[in-house]
Amino acid sequence: MYTVYGTDSCPWCDRAIEILEKLGKGYQHVDVGEDEAAQNMFREEGLRSVPQVYFEGYRIGGFEALKKHLKS
């Protein structure tokens, strides 16, 4: 399953979710602005932008990295 860390006001987050839905991939969305554990993870990993997409616990990266990942 994919996890999309993002915010409600992020168009790239919306696009990441749309592409996952279009391809029928299971995902969950975590709002970094609302989720304290996600905020702590971002700090610990030095992440500064959204979306950040993970697949089965491994970080893929942002929207462009997700597109590459899905093509392979």
Place of tokens 């995902």: 27
Helix (H) or strand (E) holding 15: helix 11-22
Q: How many CA atoms lie within 13 A of 25 on its CB side?
A: 22
End-to-end CA distance of the chain: 16
Q: Are 54 and 7 in contact (CB under 8 A)?
A: no
pLDDT value at position 51? 98
Per-residue pLDDT tens over the stretch 17-70: 999 999 999 999 999 999 999 999 999 999 999 999 999 999 999 999 999 999
The single-letter code of the amino acid at 69 is: H
Q: What domains appear along the chain, each with residue ranges and CATH number?
A: 2-71 (3.40.30.10)
